[in-house]
Homo-oligomer: A and B are copies of this chain.
Amino acid sequence: MDVPFGKPPVERADAARNREALLCTARAMIAELGTEKVTMDGLAERAGLGKGTVFRRFGTRAGIFRALLDAEEQRFQAAVLSGAPPLGPGADPVDRLIAYGRERTHFLLARQDIARAAVERKGPVPAGGPVFTQPHIGMLLKQARLGLPDPETLAFQLTSALEGPPLVFLSMDRSTAEQRAERCQGDLGALLADSWQTLIERLAGR
């Protein structure tokens, strides 16, 4: 049987399985040991793969964490685009805006350690989130028909209001961020999520 294009897809499926196995092992190591103990060598050993495979897949140690974040970001976006309401489609647009901000806040804060480890030494803090958040907020603001003169510019500002505070914590070193969260006397995520809800409710005149 002539299967001229048979081999590359099979290799790609293998690569995808390898990748998934590596990410799965990395998640287990992070849960057990924390991000700081995850190294290229350690990951290769635990996954039973050569160090070269891990290196080719991720490039650098930070690349492991970037791949993890990408995978989680995909999952988050899928829940928004086709998951259950009110995060997913079907609910009132204002309820979706509130749900999006609440979920996004917890999503970003719960991944601070991984996001910090995903930054290359001396590299800029990656800012992939707004690329999805801004058009999503803009769409919901328009659907909500709140009589806003310029929902697109407001979406730009609300995206900053939502994604900015977690980035501020991310740009601090770890101990400073932990001290700040402690000083807030409570769960920073809950404070930010409740405050986002207040902002959207006022915007909607509720």
Q: Categorize the interface residue count of chain A.
A: 20 to 34
A150 cross-chain contacts in B, Cβ below 8 A = 191, 194-195, 198
Interface window among A54-62, A73-81, A108-116, A155-163: A155-163
Q: Are B165 and A198 in contact (CB under 8 A)?
A: no
Q: Which of B160, B192, B196, B203 lies in contact with A202, CB distance below 8 A?
A: B203
Chain A interface, DSSP helix/strand/loop, else mixed: helix
A164 cross-chain contacts in B, Cβ below 8 A = 157, 159-161, 164
A163–B164 Cα distance when bound, in Å, is 9
A205 cross-chain contacts in B, Cβ below 8 A = 202, 205
A residues with CB within 8 A of B = 122, 124, 127, 130, 148-150, 153-154, 156-165, 168, 171, 191-192, 194-196, 198-199, 202-203, 205
